[in-house]
Amino acid sequence: MASAAAAKIAEVRETTRVERIGAHSHIRGLGLDESLEARHVSQGMVGQVSARRAIGIVLKMVREGRIAGRAVLLAGQPGTGKTAIATALAAALGQDTPFTSMAGSEIYSLEMSKTEALTQAIRKSIGVRIKEESEIIEGEVVEVQIERPATGVGTKVGKLILKTTEMETVYDLGGKMIDSLLKEKVQSGDVITIDKATGKISRLGRSFARARDYDATGQQTRFVQCPEGELQKRKEVVHTVTLHEIDVINSRTHGFLALFSGDTGEIKPEVREQINGKVAEWREEGKAEMIPGVLFIDEVHMLDIECFSFLNRALENEMAPIVIMATNRGITRIRGTNYKSPHGIPLDLLDRMIIVPTAPYDEKELREILSIRCEEEDCQMSDNALTVLTRISKETSLRYGMQLIMTSSLIARKRKAPEVDVEDIKRAYQLFFDEGRSVQFLKEYQQEFMFNEDDAIEMDTT
Ligand SMILES: Nc1ncnc2c1ncn2[C@@H]1O[C@H](COP(=O)(O)OP(=O)(O)O)[C@@H](O)[C@H]1O
Ligand SMILES: [Mg+2]
């Protein structure tokens, strides 16, 4: 019996281990202190101090929620942490503030117009906190009686007796209620609430009157007072949804199931207008509150002139979220035109943005980031190997260096070594080319490839 239970637990652990390791999974926040100063190494973030501090101020702006439609541009070379910082901001904002992340190129692959895709992204980034009054029953369980038919099949019947300090009532139970009582393992002495509309049961804790059962119930038990007054109460419940979710639910062609399939298609402007009106009404009645969130557009130079002018206008809207964009381009052509501009962004849009630069890391910072990644990927690495890896990252790129962590760790494992050493890094470096050596290779062997557009290879190395 006990061993069976242990196996169950192992199984559960197994599933949590499956959580995959992504490029930014080591990042848990911006790593700022209370006064929004960036700690040098904190929450998985290293260095890039002034950019992190700047985004910390953006975080504050979002939290205060009063400023709509600002745009921030993170600009810097590849691998300087632009996407990492946006990820950190999302983590710092928490669950309740909407954060939408998209890449500029995404809008070309969706089966909807570019402006519809941007509109949906914008509306996914704005939350509405809706307050609702609901009727609940709250009391201490005196007794639960459940009668099962002796055959084991057929409907169960039961009674639930609840009390407050002033009254006691007997409720007849239907099959569904019985199931949820059993699921919640409700027993006499528990203080529970039942949502009258949905039938949802929540356990608040054990009644103090039962405190002497303490030993039997274990240490995690929370004790609460037996409720006072009436058993039936009105209670305010709050939930947060995004404007996009309201759109989809109210769009007759899709219905709320579309939210799960993600297949929402285009939404009619009339639906959106209606919803804007409704939300404005709720706000006036004090039933709802807007929570402007963040829309992050990575590789923003992939957007074209139509998208940029659409964004420019969307930012004027009172309900606009804060838009953060990232790019690694310098002066380049604006997509869809023959004009060049800084970061490939039209000047009129650029003019309303605040720009946060990110700078390349020094060797110490690279080492720190690589060592955090080693830990994230469960890889033991000797000091010397880390030094070599840092040097390689400095000469090639941080991303390439990160790739070598897993590859060299597999090589080390193959020779049954407890940790990655210099020779494993060397081996991985020889097996896998970085971009610089790959270009070199192409130059040397270009005649042997099937197709070659250009004799003098001119590559886009950004
Ligand atoms: N300051 C940092 N602290 C921790 N990890 C970082 C930092 N900067 C970058 N990284 C990590 O380095 C890798 C490359 O950074 P990334 O954010 O993708 O660069 P960019 O978006 O600027 O091209 C990612 O795995 C990222 O999580
Ligand atoms: Mg990036």
Helix, strand, coil percent content, the chain, rounded in steps of 5? 40, 25, 35
Q: Nearest CA to 344 among 296, 302, 313?
A: 302
For 284, the 3-state DSSP assignment is helix
Q: Nearest C-alpha to atom 14 of ligand 1 is from which residue?
A: 79
Q: Nearest C-alpha to atom 10 of ligand 1 is from which residue?
A: 81
Cα(36) to ligand 1 centroid in Å equals: 20
pLDDT value of position 462: 47
Is residue 120 a contact partner of residue 264, using CB atoms and an 8 Å limit?
Answer: yes
pLDDT value of position 110: 73
Atom of ligand 1 nearest to the CA of 84: 17
Q: Nearest C-alpha to atom 16 of ligand 1 is from which residue?
A: 81
pLDDT value of position 374: 93
Cα(84) to ligand 2 centroid in Å equals: 7
Cα(166) to ligand 1 centroid in Å equals: 60
The per-residue pLDDT string of the chain (462 residues; one tens digit each, 9 = 90 and over) reads: 444 444 444 444 444 445 677 888 898 899 998 888 888 899 989 999 999 999 999 888 888 877 777 899 999 999 999 999 999 988 888 878 889 999 999 888 777 889 999 999 999 999 999 888 888 899 999 998 888 777 766 677 888 999 999 999 998 888 778 888 888 888 889 999 888 877 788 888 888 887 766 555 556 678 888 988 888 888 887 888 899 988 888 876 655 555 555 566 788 888 888 899 999 999 898 888 888 889 999 999 999 999 999 999 999 888 888 899 999 999 999 999 999 999 999 999 998 899 999 999 999 999 999 999 999 998 999 999 999 999 999 999 999 999 999 999 999 988 988 899 899 999 999 889 888 888 888 888 777 776 666 655 555 554
Tell me the ligand closest to 358's alpha carbon: 1
Name the residue of 45, 50, 83 whose CB sits within 8 Å of the most ligand 1 atoms, as the mutation to test its pocket: 83
Atom of ligand 1 nearest to the CA of 47: 1
Q: Which CATH fold would you assign to the domain 132-237?
A: OB fold (Dihydrolipoamide Acetyltransferase, E2P) (2.40.50)
Find the farthest-apart pair of alpha carbons in the chain and give their distance in angstroms, rounded. 92
Per DSSP, helices labelled H in 98-169 are 114-124
Cα(94) to ligand 1 centroid in Å equals: 20
User: For the chain, what are the domain ranges?
Assistant: 41-125+293-357, 132-237, 363-445
* DSSP character at residue 113: -
pLDDT value of position 343: 92
pLDDT value of position 239: 82
Q: Is 373 exposed, middle or buried (0-12, 13-18, 19+ CB in 10 A)?
A: buried
Output the pTM of the full model.
0.74
Give CA 28 to chain center in angstroms: 11
pLDDT value of position 296: 93
Residues with CB under 6 A from ligand 1: 23-24, 27, 44-48, 76, 78-84, 328, 369, 398-399, 402
Locate 455 and state its tokens.
């004799």
Atom of ligand 1 nearest to the CA of 52: 1
Cα(365) to ligand 1 centroid in Å equals: 11
Which CATH code for domain 41-125+293-357? 3.40.50.300
Cα(42) to ligand 1 centroid in Å equals: 14
Which of these CATH numbers, 3.30.2290.10, 3.30.499.10, 3.20.20.70, 1.10.8.60, describes 363-445?
1.10.8.60
